[in-house]
Amino acid sequence: MAETLTNREIADVFTAIADTMEVLGEDVFRTRAYRRASDAIADLALPLTTLRARGDLTDVPGIGKAIADKVAELLDTGKLEFYEKLRAKVPEGVLALLHVPNVGPRTAGRLYTELGISSVAALKEAAEAGKLNGVKGFGPKTIAALLRDIASAETRDQRTLLFDALRAAEGLIETLRAASPAVQEASYAGSLRRGRETIGDIDILAATSDPAATVQAFTTLPLVARVESSGAEKATVFLHNGLQADLIAINPALWGAALQHFTGGKAHNIRFREIALAKGLSFSEHGFKRVASGEMLTSATEEDVYAAIGLPWIPPEIRENSGEFEAAAAGRIPRLVELGDIRSDLHMHSDWSDGKAPIRAMAEAARARGYTHMALTDHSLFLGITNGLDGARLRQQAAEVAALNAEYASAGIDFRILRGIEVDITADGGLALPDDVLGDLDIVVASPHVKL
């Protein structure tokens, strides 16, 4: 069964529905209903799965029975038939117009229906050719700004955050395993496996006894929006979120060598092959070959691959030829930071300002994650900040924090709430709260919300 979608992912689906409906010029009240549902889901403190199990979905403002049914379908199947049919009415290129700054769904719909513009390239061509001149809402300054925005979008590095790419890759692997019983091993590779901050595309490696069947299964997964290419052992697809994903299906006997090779990084692999050659071995994704005799050597695991050149396994996150080979040879590979090493969150907003949860609930959630500290840094009272705190309310909050800390201490619980504030930097470079108030806090986060 595929991994259950998160609140954020389901909220994004409802936003996409609203955008698509607005492009199509559908009823404004229905469009707003989906936007309200998206906002409500994004703001929930509890997972939708929990609310559904309790039968409380329709108790959430903005979620009626129709929306609740769609939420249930997304939770059960990872997709929504209504959304798929809606998307089919609008060319992909029209929805891509929404990625251009200042081009909203209504404008994209007008450009498509009135001028037949169905891609960013067509929009650029129309603007440069003067076809937008005289079109309502497109004066000379607007067109000039539009061309600058398109140029910026074209030159900007189109990469995806690690977290988003990781979620997509894990979903692909889980559904591929379920759809293709021939898969014996599967992993993401490339920059994603090396934990780079941003990812260009997703590389999936699958060891399978039936490559053709595995490729076929991959190209028909629910997450796949479009198949770019497909062969006997490889496929390239685009997901509904726009990410490109590449599959390489390999012989299980080659798993270790292939996983090392396709994980990279490039500089690491070059140095790896140099060390192998010094030991009389050549190396590729097919494994080792003895240079003298031509004999092929298989490696079932990555541990076997590194052992063949006399080294312990090297974690993917440090495979950049930045000293990891020397550290491995000396037995000094560092222990990497893991999720369980995180002991605190030092920037959190409660329902005292613009957060959604009370302090006690936040503290208990932090403790459940194994934290020993958390810092309350609600907004200061400044300009239009929602329910911001001044000195008087900070002192009131301090009493609640002190009571909770005393409660934890008396119970012998190793957990402490730190008092803080996210204080605004004013237009003249000062701070929105006096020094005597700030000096009484454990932590101060200074943030500019106005032009300096």
Check whether 10 has a pLDDT greater than 60. yes
- Condensed to tens digits (0 to 9), the pLDDT of residues 427-445 reads 888 998 999 999 999 999 9
Q: Which residue has the higher pLDDT, 354 or 253?
A: 253
* 425 and 364 belong to one structural domain: yes
Tell whether 364 and 344 lie within a shared domain.
yes
Residues 186 and 146 in one domain: no
What is the predicted pLDDT for the residue at 367? Answer: 96
pLDDT tens track for 345-403: 999 999 999 888 999 999 999 999 999 999 999 999 876 566 889 999 999 999 999 99
Per the structure, the count of domains in the chain is 5
Q: Which amino acid is at 419?
A: R
Contact by Cβ (8 Å): 391, 440: no
Could you tell me if 22 and 49 lie in one domain?
yes
Residue 138 located in a structural domain: yes
Asked if residue 443 and residue 359 are part of one domain, the reply reads: yes
* CATH number of the domain to which 289 belongs: 3.30.210.10
Residue 451 has a pLDDT of 61
Per residue, what are the HEC states of 346-409? Answer: EEECCCCCCCCCCHHHHHHHHHHCCCCEEEECCEECCCCCCCCECHHHHHHHHHHHHHHHHHHH
Q: What is the pLDDT of residue 386?
A: 66
For residue 362, tell me if it sits in a domain: yes
- Whether 2 shows a pLDDT value over 70: the answer reads no
Last residue of a domain, one of 90, 116, 141: 90
Q: Are residues 299 and 344 in the same domain?
A: no
Look at residues 90, 117, 142 and tell me which one is the last residue of a structural domain.
90
Domain-located, residue 335: no
Least confident range from 44-48, 156-160, 181-185, 317-321: namely 156-160
Measured distance CA(286)–CA(1) in Å, rounded: 32
Question: Is 334 within a domain?
Answer: no
Q: Which amino acid is at 125?
A: E
Domain extent at residue 16: 7-90
Are 353 and 427 found together in one domain? Answer: yes
d(CA 437, CA 394): 8
pLDDT, residue 3, reads 56
Average pLDDT over residues 105-134: 88
Q: Are 354 and 387 a contacting pair, CB within 8 Å?
A: yes
Residues 352 and 443 reside in one and the same domain? yes
**Residue 339 near residue 362 (C-beta atoms within 8 A):** no
**Model confidence pLDDT, tens digit, residues 401-431:** 999 999 999 999 999 999 999 998 988 889 9
Whether 170 and 137 map to the same domain: the answer is no
Last residue of a domain, one of 213, 229, 250: 250
Task: Decide if 2 is inside a domain.
Answer: no
Tell me the average pLDDT across 321-337: 96
Average pLDDT over residues 193-202: 94
